[in-house]
Amino acid sequence: MNSIHFNGKILDFSTPKVMGILNCTSDSFFDGGKFFSESAALQQAEKMLIEGADIIDVGGMSTRPGAEPVSSNEEIKRIEPVIAGLRREFPGIFISADTFRVEVAQVALDAGADIVNDISGGELDKDMFTFIAKRKVPYILMHMQGTPRNMQINPTYEHVVSEIFQYFIQKVRLLKSMGIEEVIIDPGFGFGKTIAHNFELLNQLEVFSILEKPVLAGLSRKSMLYKTIGGGPEEALSATAAVHMVALEKGAGILRVHDVKEAKDVIKIFSAINAVH
């Protein structure tokens, strides 16, 4: 699938796209609290759009390892005004709502979001697929073992790549049977995976292209990087650029990032390399 269609708009994956992360939270692992107010969130979104973001992904609950969930009402209170503000200020942009709750997704779509980005692949709210089918919006299907609270306690697989691939085959088949075709695949780096699991997934990312859906890579400043190089997420920008290039070479269609300009630069270099015959 080379494009996603929604709300009369087309997202074309003939060149890779950048999804800018907008955390309207107080406790996200890298930028928690920075964009907690509506004005700060809109300012950051504008910066990302100027730098070339193709999608703004708005989230109201941290899903870092060990994170405590917030109520649906609190999640809605955080993201509804930001999504409405984005739609008002930048009417033509693509907005995704990062939530696994139908109740929150409904409010987000009504406020102007185009896409639902569900870290749980429909596992944490069993009504999600039915809701997506009803609303006919694109859906980001992610793999996660466990929940954010417990996913990193002891993630275990016999064969991580083949198990996650089988998970996607089953989920995509189910979604298709419900009339849901506009699906983006996210292997879920860091969500119930060890560092070794994450690098194995990255090394075989091209496998997921067999599903004929755009593949999203969420690698930005994650612990698999900063624990490997030493330091914290603040020191992981160059490592992020390195794995972004690998992800693109292995077929990723979307990079989900904190640092839009740097991701766009990686795509420019990737495109220049591939333009040489």
106-125 pLDDT tens trace: 999 999 999 999 999 999 99
Over the chain, what is the mean pLDDT? Answer: 92
Express each pLDDT in 159-192 by its tens digit: 999 999 999 999 999 999 999 999 999 999 999 9
Set out the domains of the chain in order of their start, with CATH numbers. 3-275 (3.20.20.20)
Helix, coil or strand: residue 14: coil
pTM, whole model, 2 decimals?
A: 0.94
Q: What is the Cα–Cα distance from 179 to 50, expressed in whole angstroms?
A: 35
| pLDDT exceeds cutoff 60 at 29 | no
Place of tokens 């085959």: 169
> Which of 49-63, 107-121, 142-156 has the weakest average pLDDT?
142-156
Residue 218's pLDDT band (boundaries 50, 70, 90)? very high
pLDDT value of residue 215: 98
Which residues form the catalytic set?
222, 256
Residue 213 pLDDT > 60: yes
- pLDDT for 246 beyond 80: yes
In this prediction, residue 35 has a pLDDT band, given cuts at 50, 70 and 90, of: low
Cβ proximity of 103 and 97 under 8 Å: no
Question: If pLDDT is split at 50, 70 and 90, which confidence band does 30 have?
Answer: very low
Whether the pLDDT of residue 33 is over 80: the answer is no
- Assign 12 a pLDDT band (cuts: 50, 70, 90): very high
Lowest-pLDDT choice from 35-44, 189-198, 265-274? 35-44
Cα–Cα distance measured from residue 132 to residue 119, given in angstroms and rounded to the nearest whole number: 14
Nearest to 81 by CA among 50, 112, 57: 112
